[in-house]
């Protein structure tokens, strides 16, 4: 399961990822892939941090999520372990016991209380969890890895490039950082988060506020992307505060005047990571923004935007640079939402495709075809029914998506 190509939508340069003070990073290779590469990342916090987490809503979940939910009650973290190559989902007693064994190992080796140990897994579902390989890989304690980009590389599966970013800003006159990494390429359509994401901040705040901010920002970012409409059994986003800034620079409540600035910086990191996932969508060649505006309600706008973004016919048309806007009409129609055809407007970029219930016969289709040759496409659906808007980020569907997923385990 290795790929020699890099997504054509990948950023030209990977952002510099700064280490967060008070966190030691370790990477290991347990041989969970056919070639030698790091497949484990371990974050150890020198002092206990505050943790917030959101999970998939899938009815079948990884054993890792059940473990984390139990430990989340205290909202205190001392270690986060991540492995790629195996999802530890649908693995029965063996998978559950493996987590207990792993927690004991980390506890002994790094002085981490088992109830402050969190973990995430990503990879193949239903395969026995390779606990012996993992325990053997982490047996020998090593010096911390100073390059945090390596943590983003270690958690990749079908990703073609590592995903990470650091945002530096001043908080009450003191320089502060937010660093985040994520992985995800296929099986992407969130219903809380998507993929795996880990974001670290230095500002102290009440644990309940940390959770509230995570939920809000996730809904505005990771919950607004889709690659293929499939939600994983392991989707998780974790937000950790190392509490390294002095109490004078803490956020005390939602009314704190500094919270807006901090939330904007946090949202920037989340949004950037979410976009990188879509840019690395399996086989993707075009990044597509779908905007549904002037809806009766946000749920209506959301329902229609998702219907378009997940339509295989729409996505293949964009891949083929075919201005077949009838597929957008179909995707709107299948939501069963009441639509006034005469008010409905569909646009590719700034090109108005429909008006007054008809296709725009005066439109130069050659210009539309040229527009669709771009790597970044915007589709706007104006319902003309209200004032609510919802947007999502998606990608096209290519032959390469089939190639990747037809041989995922080989």
Please indicate, yes or no, whether residues 126 and 226 belong to a single structural domain of this protein. Answer: yes
Whether 17 is covered by a domain: the verdict is no
pLDDT classification of 371: cutoffs 50, 70, 90: very high
Q: Which residues contact 273 (CB under 8 A, 6 or more apart)?
A: 163, 164, 165, 180, 181, 182, 197, 199, 221, 222
Flag whether pLDDT at 249 surpasses 90. no
pLDDT classification of 2: cutoffs 50, 70, 90: very low
Question: What share of the chain has pLDDT > 90, as a percent?
Answer: 73
Q: What is the pLDDT of residue 244?
A: 85
Of 238, 29, 43, which Cα lies nearest the Cα of 130?
Answer: 29
pLDDT in tens, 14-58: 878 999 989 999 999 999 987 789 999 999 999 999 999 998 878
Is the separation of the CB atoms in 238 and 117 below 8 Å? Answer: no
Q: Please write down the HEC assignment for all residues of 43-55.
A: EEEEEEEEEEEEE
Please indicate, yes or no, whether residues 221 and 369 belong to a single structural domain of this protein. Answer: no
Q: What is the pLDDT of residue 404?
A: 74
Q: What is the pLDDT of residue 18?
A: 92
Whether 12 is covered by a domain: the verdict is no
Please indicate, yes or no, whether residues 242 and 99 belong to a single structural domain of this protein. Answer: yes
Q: What is the pLDDT of residue 44?
A: 97
Q: Which residue has the higher pLDDT, 204 or 302?
A: 302
Please indicate, yes or no, whether residues 291 and 240 belong to a single structural domain of this protein. Answer: no
Most confident range, picked from 174-188, 213-227, 283-297: 283-297
Most confident range, picked from 142-146, 261-265, 331-335, 356-360: 331-335
Whether 3 is covered by a domain: the verdict is no
Please indicate, yes or no, whether residues 47 and 112 belong to a single structural domain of this protein. Answer: yes
Flag whether pLDDT at 156 surpasses 60. yes
Q: How many domains does the chain have?
A: 2
pLDDT in tens, 377-410: 999 999 999 999 999 999 999 998 888 777 766 5
pLDDT classification of 4: cutoffs 50, 70, 90: low
Is the separation of the CB atoms in 298 and 220 below 8 Å? Answer: no
Mean pLDDT of 210-225: 93
Please indicate, yes or no, whether residues 149 and 230 belong to a single structural domain of this protein. Answer: yes
Flag whether pLDDT at 331 surpasses 90. yes
| H or E segment and range at residue 391 | strand 388-395
Backbone region of residue 173 per phi and psi (left: phi > 0; alpha: psi in -120 to 50; beta: other values):
left
Instruction: Give the residue carrying structure tokens 């179909």.
Output: 330
Whether 371 is covered by a domain: the verdict is yes
d(CA 27, CA 43): 9
Of 162, 302, 278, 163, which Cα lies nearest the Cα of 220?
Answer: 302
Q: What is the pLDDT of residue 190?
A: 64
Ranking 183-192, 202-211, 268-277 by mean pLDDT, the lowest is: 183-192
Ranking 62-71, 169-178, 252-261 by mean pLDDT, the lowest is: 252-261
pLDDT in tens, 306-320: 999 999 999 999 999
Q: Which domain holds residue 382?
A: 287-406
pLDDT in tens, 108-137: 999 999 999 999 999 889 999 999 999 999
Please indicate, yes or no, whether residues 206 and 315 belong to a single structural domain of this protein. Answer: no
Please indicate, yes or no, whether residues 265 and 303 belong to a single structural domain of this protein. Answer: no
Q: What is the pLDDT of residue 93?
A: 97
Q: Which residues contact 251 (CB under 8 A, 6 or more apart)?
A: 203, 204, 205, 206, 209, 258, 259, 262
pLDDT classification of 193: cutoffs 50, 70, 90: very low
pLDDT in tens, 137-149: 999 878 898 899 9
Classify 108 as helix, strand or coil: helix
Q: Which residue has the higher pLDDT, 195 or 152?
A: 152
Q: Which residues contact 296 (CB under 8 A, 6 or more apart)?
A: 383, 385, 386, 388
Please indicate, yes or no, whether residues 164 and 71 belong to a single structural domain of this protein. Answer: yes
pLDDT in tens, 290-305: 999 999 999 999 999 9
Give alpha helix (H) positions in 201-242: 207-220
Q: What is the pLDDT of residue 173?
A: 83
DSSP state for residue 146 in the 8-state scheme: S
DSSP states of 2-66: ------TTS-SSPPP-PPPTTEEEEEE----SSS----EEEEEEEEEEEEEEEE---SS--HHHH
Please indicate, yes or no, whether residues 230 and 100 belong to a single structural domain of this protein. Answer: yes
CATH number at residue 155: 3.60.70.12
CATH number at residue 327: 3.10.20.340
**pTM for the complete prediction?**
0.93
pLDDT in tens, 58-88: 888 899 999 999 999 999 999 999 999 999 9
Please indicate, yes or no, whether residues 222 and 336 belong to a single structural domain of this protein. Answer: no
Is the separation of the CB atoms in 265 and 198 below 8 Å? Answer: no
What mean pLDDT is reported for the chain? 91
pLDDT classification of 233: cutoffs 50, 70, 90: confident
pLDDT classification of 274: cutoffs 50, 70, 90: very high
Is the separation of the CB atoms in 74 and 116 below 8 Å? Answer: yes
Q: What positions carry a catalytic annotation?
A: 194
Whether 361 is covered by a domain: the verdict is yes
Neighbours of 22 (CB within 10 A): 15
């Amino acid at each position: 399961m290795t790929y020699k190509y890099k997504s054509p939508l990948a950023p030209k340069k990977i952002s510099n990822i700064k280490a967060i003070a008070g966190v030691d990073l370790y990477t290991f290779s347990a041989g969970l892939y056919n070639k030698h590469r790091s497949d484990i990342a371990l974050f150890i916090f020198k002092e206990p941090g505050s943790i917030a987490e959101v999970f998939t809503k899938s009815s079948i979940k990884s054993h890792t999520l059940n473990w984390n939910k139990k430990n989340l009650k205290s909202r205190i973290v001392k270690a986060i372990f991540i492995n790629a190559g195996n999802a530890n989902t649908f693995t029965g007693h063996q998978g559950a016991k493996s987590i207990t064994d792993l927690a004991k190992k980390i506890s002994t080796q790094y002085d981490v209380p088992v109830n402050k140990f969190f973990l995430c897994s990503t990879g193949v579902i239903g395969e026995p969890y390779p606990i012996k390989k993992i325990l053997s890989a982490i047996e020998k304690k090593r010096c911390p890895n100073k390059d945090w980009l390596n943590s983003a590389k270690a958690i990749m599966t079908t990703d073609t490039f590592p995903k990470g970013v650091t945002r530096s800003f001043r908080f009450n006159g003191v320089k502060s950082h937010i660093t985040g990494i994520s992985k995800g390429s296929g099986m992407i359509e969130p219903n809380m988060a998507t993929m795996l994401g880990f974001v670290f901040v230095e500002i102290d705040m009440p644990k309940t506020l940390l959770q509230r901010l995570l939920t809000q920002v996730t809904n505005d970012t990771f919950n607004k992307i889709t690659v293929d409409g499939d939600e994983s059994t392991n989707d998780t986003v974790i937000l950790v505060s190392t509490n390294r800034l002095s109490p004078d620079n803490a956020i005390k409540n939602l009314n704190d005047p500094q919270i807006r600035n901090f939330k904007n910086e946090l949202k920037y990191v989340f949004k950037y990571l979410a976009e990188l996932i879509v840019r690395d969508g399996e086989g993707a060649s075009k990044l597509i923004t779908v905007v549904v505006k002037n809806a009766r309600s946000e749920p209506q706008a959301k329902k229609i935007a998702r219907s378009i973004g997940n339509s295989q016919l729409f996505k293949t048309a964009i891949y083929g640079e075919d201005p077949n806007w009838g597929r957008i009409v179909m995707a709107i129609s299948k939501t069963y939402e009441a639509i006034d055809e005469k008010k409905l407007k569909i646009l590719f970029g700034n090109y108005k495709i429909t008006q007054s219930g008809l296709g725009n016969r005066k439109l130069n289709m050659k210009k539309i075809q040229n527009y669709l040759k771009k790597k970044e496409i915007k589709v706007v659906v104006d319902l003309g029914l209200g004032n609510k808007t919802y947007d999502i980020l998606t990608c096209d569907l290519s032959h390469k998506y089939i190639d990747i997923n037809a041989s995922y385990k080989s």
